Structure 1
Amino acid sequence: MPRHGRNVMSAHLLYFKDQLTDDFQFKFIRHKGQKIRQQLHMHDYIQIAYVVRGVCVHHFCDKTLTVGKGDLFIIPPWQAHCINAVDDKDCELVLLDFMPAFLGDHLKPFSRSLFQHVVQYEKSGTSSEWLQPWLHISQDKQLLVEQLLQDIQEEVAEREEGYEFSVQINVVKLLILIDREFRRTERQRQAASGQRPPNPQFQDVIRYIHENYGQDIPLEQGAYIANMTPAYFSHLFKKTTGQTFVEYLHEVRIERAKELIRLNAHTMTQICFQVGFRHLSHFIRTFKKRTGMTPTDYKKSVLNN
């Protein structure tokens, strides 16, 4: 039995066989409106969720994030999570449910792909760099993702000869696209901060920052993860990334704040605390320092555009 997360004890357990109405080991669900309500649960199957429009809240890996159009997440087996609508906000969400065996051998040539890491999580219960609360699909790829999802929905609905194989191939295409988007995002993140790809010593630290930016993360915590003294860690981190530990942490927080501002679902105070700042004045000052404008001015510019 895989090792489960801390919040699993209170999660409702769903089994794939109980969710199906026929022998085809795949389920397509499209939610629309303001009534998406889930209790904390986990399942023995894989789920891919994509936000087509609007905003909703996703609780996953002990984090609660507001997600919007273009955001996608993969929930591996035995990982507790829930998705809920935001009050008075419309949302359209697509869910793909299937067992790891559903795709057969189609992903064997892509042994380093995202999907393989998800399957590995099911076997070991250990996290990987691919186990993220969400991934934002770039605007130029969103149409492709949505077309793949539409094709899958039509194949499942019409059930013409060979529809099972067509669904499998489209899911494989989707997973490869997700994997490439993840790698592109990582490259952009490194380029934006002027950093070289991190040394192995800092990979776990940087991953920890991106997964826990909403919490207090002192320099000493980073040093502990890297197994270094705080002074040496501080020196080597700046030498490697071109930024101090605090500067890098602030960059991650401000980038996430900009995404939340664009969703236009929360107040600035709510965003401030969600991305890890404890004082609104500090958030505003840091935001302006990194972007050249206040959060309110940034919001106005986004809405005007």
Structure 2
Amino acid sequence: MPDYPVYAYREVLEDDFPFKIEVRNPLNMNRSSHAHEHLQLCYMMSGSCLHWAAGEQYVLTKGDLFSIPPFLEHRLGPRDAMDFAMIQVDFMPHAINESFRDVARMQTFVDFAYIRPLVSDAGLQPKMALPPAAQAEVEHVLNAILAEWERQEDGYRLAIKADLLKFLVIAGRQYQRHAQTQRQQERQKVALHREAFYDAVAYMETHYDEDLKLDEMAAKALMAPSYFSHMLRLVRGKSYIEYLSAVRIQAAMELLDGTDLSVTDIATRVGYNHISHFNRTFKKHAGVTPGDYRKHRS
């Protein structure tokens, strides 16, 4: 267990609309190490401060955009007597419903927000310094979100969702341009991390009949178990257990349709050692028992 608190998103955000935006400054900065289940995107409006992420210290200045992915230890700190203003956006993917599925497929945004901050390299900082034109664009969108959040007039959630999507697209585009100027070695490290994740997912999809453990799959993905499960929810819409079950049940359906194998044999072939567990999981996913599924399909 970590020696710092890890906040569930329901401790910080409302469940029906898991989103929050606020302005941080020296008086309300969080100086204690912590992590959280949700994604956090921050933009430096003015001034400068210090930021510790995964044990490394970084200097943040006006125009810096950075991400705090789920379960990453971090904290803020003052930089001498300097003042600063930082806009902090906290949200869970389902704050913008299925619209986020398109952004989740946008490689550049996922690399920047969810993967790049995890890559351990002294020369690969999690922040991204935006050029002046991009700063103006980001500040316009964030100020619009702030205004909607503060007024909370009729339709404010829809307005925030639209502007939040725009903000995420801008961040992804800027990272694409930013990455083109980085060293090839740095780009390769981010790509390696991403490829390791998708290799682990592919392994689950082809070795579902084995006794797959979350910590083993997370190790293949070069991620902590909790973070690997979160990434699965982001890109596949399900947690580790939910996704593995869905893959197994889909394989079971195909065997029920295309073979004369018994339900017990099929359960074993798709990774279930106990027929009762298989039956419960199948009915949860398909709405009927395996026997009824085969009967109605024949």
Alignment partner, residue 57 of structure 1: 50
Contact 1:61–1:133 (CA under 8 A) maintained in structure 2 = no
Percent identity over paired residues: 25
Change in Cα spacing, 1:45 to 1:82, as seen in structure 2 (3 Å) is same
What are the equivalent positions in structure 2 for 1:8-157 lying under 5 Å apart? 9-20=2-13, 23-33=16-26, 36-110=29-103, 111-117=105-111, 132-157=125-150
Gaps of at least 5 residues in structure 2 are: 194-298
Gaps of at least 5 residues in structure 1 are: 1-7, 191-197, 209-305
* Structure 1 residue 146, shift from structure 2 partner: 0.8
* Structure 1 residue 34, shift from structure 2 partner: 5.6
Q: Distance in 2 between matches of 1:34 and 1:87?
A: 14
Aligned length: 189
Contact 1:58–1:83 (CA under 8 A) maintained in structure 2 = yes
TM-score of the superposition, structure 1-length normalised?
A: 0.54
Q: Distance in 2 between matches of 1:19 and 1:162?
A: 22
Q: Distance in 2 between matches of 1:55 and 1:199?
A: 29
1:203 aligned to 188, 191, 195, which one?
A: 188
Contact 2:69–2:114 (CA under 8 A) maintained in structure 1 = no
Q: Residue 168 in 1 paired to residue 161 in 2?
A: yes
Q: Distance in 1 between matches of 2:113 and 2:28?
A: 31
Q: Distance in 2 between matches of 1:87 and 1:199?
A: 34
Contact 1:73–1:132 (CA under 8 A) maintained in structure 2 = no
Report the structure number with the largest CA radius of gyration: 2
Q: Distance in 2 between matches of 1:205 and 1:75?
A: 16
Which amino acid in the other structure matches residue 204 of structure 1? K
Change in Cα spacing, 1:179 to 1:69, as seen in structure 2 (3 Å) is same
Which amino acid in the other structure matches residue 147 of structure 1? H
The one-character-per-residue Cα deviations of 1:129-154 (angstroms, maximum 9, x if unpaired) are 9x952111111110111111110011
TM-score of the superposition, structure 2-length normalised?
A: 0.55
Which amino acid in the other structure matches residue 107 of structure 1? F
* Structure 1 residue 62, shift from structure 2 partner: 2.8
Q: Residue 158 in 1 paired to residue 169 in 2?
A: no
Which amino acid in the other structure matches residue 41 of structure 1? H
* Structure 1 residue 117, shift from structure 2 partner: 4.8
SS for the counterpart of 1:9 is coil
* Structure 1 residue 184, shift from structure 2 partner: 0.8
Contact 2:49–2:79 (CA under 8 A) maintained in structure 1 = yes
Q: Distance in 2 between matches of 1:18 and 1:69?
A: 30
Root-mean-square deviation (CA), in Å? 3.4
Q: Distance in 1 between matches of 2:165 and 2:17?
A: 17
Contact 1:26–1:99 (CA under 8 A) maintained in structure 2 = yes
Q: Distance in 1 between matches of 2:91 and 2:4?
A: 20
Which amino acid in the other structure matches residue 159 of structure 2? S
Change in Cα spacing, 1:182 to 1:118, as seen in structure 2 (3 Å) is closer
Alignment partner, residue 239 of structure 1: none
Q: Residue 187 in 1 paired to residue 180 in 2?
A: yes
* Structure 1 residue 81, shift from structure 2 partner: 0.7
Alignment partner, residue 290 of structure 1: none
* Structure 1 residue 29, shift from structure 2 partner: 1.1
Which amino acid in the other structure matches residue 112 of structure 1? M
The one-character-per-residue Cα deviations of 1:84-120 (angstroms, maximum 9, x if unpaired) are 2212100101111111221222233341244445787
Change in Cα spacing, 1:163 to 1:10, as seen in structure 2 (3 Å) is same
Contact 1:32–1:91 (CA under 8 A) maintained in structure 2 = yes
